[in-house]
A = this chain, B = another copy of it.
Amino acid sequence: PPGRKVLIVYAHQEPKSLNGSLKSVAVEELSKQGCSVTVSDLYAMQFEPRATRNDIVGCLHNSEEFNYGVETWEAYKRGGLSSDLIEEQKKVQEADLLIFQFPLYWFSMPAIMKGWMDRVLVQGFAHEFPNCYDSGLLKNKLALFSFTTGGSKEMYAKGGISGDIRYLLWPMQHGIMHFCGVKVLAPHICFAPEYVSEEKRKEMLIAWAQRLKTLWKEEPINCSPEWYFK
């Protein structure tokens, strides 16, 4: 609906890929609804995935023994995080909905996107003990993982060789998003697009656009072990 803000964190090297098209479809459809849409195109930004001392501007809290979690927490509080992180945190802060668009790499997100999680969601900003899970600092936001797979739907079925696809969603949806208080919408999964016809791929794009039309009416999943491992 008009006024809603969406951040799409997007990780694919090739604009012509299905992931690129899924991203474009989302920008188009959500803009049409009157949402304001921002895209963090991680490869195009050459986003830094490594969590290092460079993320802290100026002196360290403890220069004797570097502790990334403590140092970024302290730096956040004094406004001393590196500018690329401040930039991403601003986008997150403003967003009502975060969409993560990526190809599944090794049962998870590509390293460049994992680096976005590792570096952007610092303590003090996204969580601050005991403010985690339902009281995480990013509560009142929604997240949606939209991704493509190499393996087929059959491989990712319960009893399939790769196990129920939900098993691998636990660290991403519960361990990251729910931990920060973000409510999780059902994932959007395009299985094995490389092995289907061009027509099937077009149907995948249409299905995504279709889902986005009524996205704001969706209820979040119940992000507890039952949803994943029942």
Tell me whether A161 is interfacial, beta carbon within 8 Å: yes
Binary interface profile of A, 115-158, with partner B (CB < 8 Å = 1, else 0)? 10111010000000000010000000000000000100000000
The docked-state distance in angstroms from the alpha carbon of A99 to that of B64 is 27
Please give, as numbers and ranges, the residues of chain B lying within 8 Å of A170 by CB-CB distance.
Answer: 107, 163, 167-168, 170
The docked-state distance in angstroms from the alpha carbon of A176 to that of B47 is 24
Tell me whether A67 is interfacial, beta carbon within 8 Å: yes
Binary interface profile of A, 55-78, with partner B (CB < 8 Å = 1, else 0)? 000000000111111000000000
Task: Kindly provide the distance from the CB of A224 to the nearest chain B CB, expressed in whole angstroms.
Answer: 9
User: Does A111 lie within 8 Å of B114, measured CB to CB?
Assistant: yes
User: Does A175 lie within 8 Å of B108, measured CB to CB?
Assistant: yes
The docked-state distance in angstroms from the alpha carbon of A106 to that of B172 is 8
User: Does B49 lie within 8 Å of A49, measured CB to CB?
Assistant: yes
User: Does B150 lie within 8 Å of A162, measured CB to CB?
Assistant: no
- Other than the known A167-B225, A168-B170, what 5 A-B pairs have Cβ atoms closer than 8 Å? A105-B114, A106-B118, A107-B171, A110-B114, A115-B115
